Amino acid sequence: MAPLTRAAFVILVVAFLFHLGIWSVVAIAVGYSIADSLDRYLEERQTKKARDAIYDDLMDGWKQSKDDPKYEEKGDWLRLRLTGNDQIIVTRIAELLWRMR
């Protein structure tokens, strides 16, 4: 059962038990619906911020290695720099994955 259906059921049961009027039930249902929508919006926003932070951390801050120019370094991490066709392929795959999310 969906959370909205459960909430509607609980609201109706409570309204029956406490003999609430129809306008009170409507006000409670509308209030719950607004709060639920706001909660989902804030959760999606927080998830997007976390995803963007991971992406930024992965892409930014890399510098060319002093020892070997074929590599990039960031703190203790070292990775191979992509050039030419390899970079194009990886960029296209990254764009595809970015659109799929």
97 CA to centre of own chain: 14
DSSP letters spanning 15-84: HHHTT--HHHHHHHHHHHHHHHHHHHHHHHHHHHHHHHHHHHHHHSS-EE-SS-TTEEEETTEEEEPP-H
In the chain, the number of structural domains is: 2
pLDDT tens string, the chain, 101 residues long: the values are 577 788 889 999 999 999 999 999 999 999 999 999 999 999 999 999 998 888 887 778 888 888 888 888 888 888 888 777 887 888 888 888 878 87
Domain with 67, as residue range(s), is 62-101
Assess whether 1 and 50 both reside in one domain: yes
CB 59 within 8 A of CB 95: no
Assess whether 56 and 67 both reside in one domain: no
Assess whether 6 and 55 both reside in one domain: yes
Assess whether 37 and 68 both reside in one domain: no
Using CA atoms, how far apart are residues 34 and 19, in angstroms rounded to an integer?
Answer: 24
pTM reported for the whole predicted model = 0.61
Assess whether 51 and 81 both reside in one domain: no
Assess whether 49 and 36 both reside in one domain: yes
